[in-house]
Amino acid sequence: MDLLLSRKVKEMFTGSKGSHDWEHTERVYKLAVHIGEKEGADMEIVKAAAVLHDIARQAEDESGGRLCHAREGAVAAEKILRETGYGADDIARIKHCIEAHRFRNSKEPETTEARVLFDADKLDSIGAVGIGRAFLFAGEIGAKLHNSGADIEKTKPYTEEDTAYREFIVKLRKVKDRMLTKEGKRLAEERHKFMEEFFARLDKEVNGVE
């Protein structure tokens, strides 16, 4: 990890919420390195993009989801990358990775490096870690514990109905089929299975069934 870049970026996460904090960035970084090496990616681009990918997440949360942290993050990243000595071509490639890493986004990852970051970020949203983060986020916005009886299509984000279960239905259960790299797909299979088992168990326990 580029120490100068990481120190500068880490400071930006001061006061960030647990669901999208610096620890999330560190996990994504490790996954991106693992996948990137298997995919033959340009690791300098992958590493920088992983460090920077969520720098605008706090702004999105504060906007109630109105801002797109991927788009805003790419803009903010350019200035940081220039200050830390990256050239114009590398900056453009890193910005594309950041712009295209979001699940709820029309921007498609067009490079190996962008696909690596996309998969690394998505892997941290599923499995045991993904469940933990979903509950963290639900707590941050004051959502209920569980709402399996709700019509999810009629619920809205950043409300008390924006539960971990809603996130599973709206996004997490779909992640496995959106993976773009061979290694990402392999890792997603087991994480997906664990989530299905967990939410089935949660539903039983909430309804008093063992």
pLDDT tens per residue across span 105-153 = 678 999 999 999 999 999 999 999 999 999 999 999 999 999 998 999 9
Mean pLDDT for all residues in the chain:
92
Domain boundaries, the chain: 1-106, 125-210
Question: In the chain, what are the helix, strand and coil shares in percent, each to the nearest 5?
Answer: 70, 0, 30
pLDDT of amino acid 53: 94
Give the fold, CATH level 3, of 125-210.
Methane Monooxygenase Hydroxylase; Chain G, domain 1 (1.20.58)
Task: State both tokens at 107.
Answer: 């921007």
Single-letter amino acid, residue 41: A
Q: Which residues have CB under 8 Å from 8's CB, separation 6+? A: 80, 83, 84
How far the first Cα of the chain sits from its last, in Å, is 46
CATH value of 1-106 in 3.30.565.10, 1.10.3210.10, 3.90.1150.10, 3.40.50.300 = 1.10.3210.10
* pTM as predicted: 0.88
Closest to 62 (Cα-Cα) out of 2, 17, 9: 17
CA Rg, the chain, in Å? Answer: 17
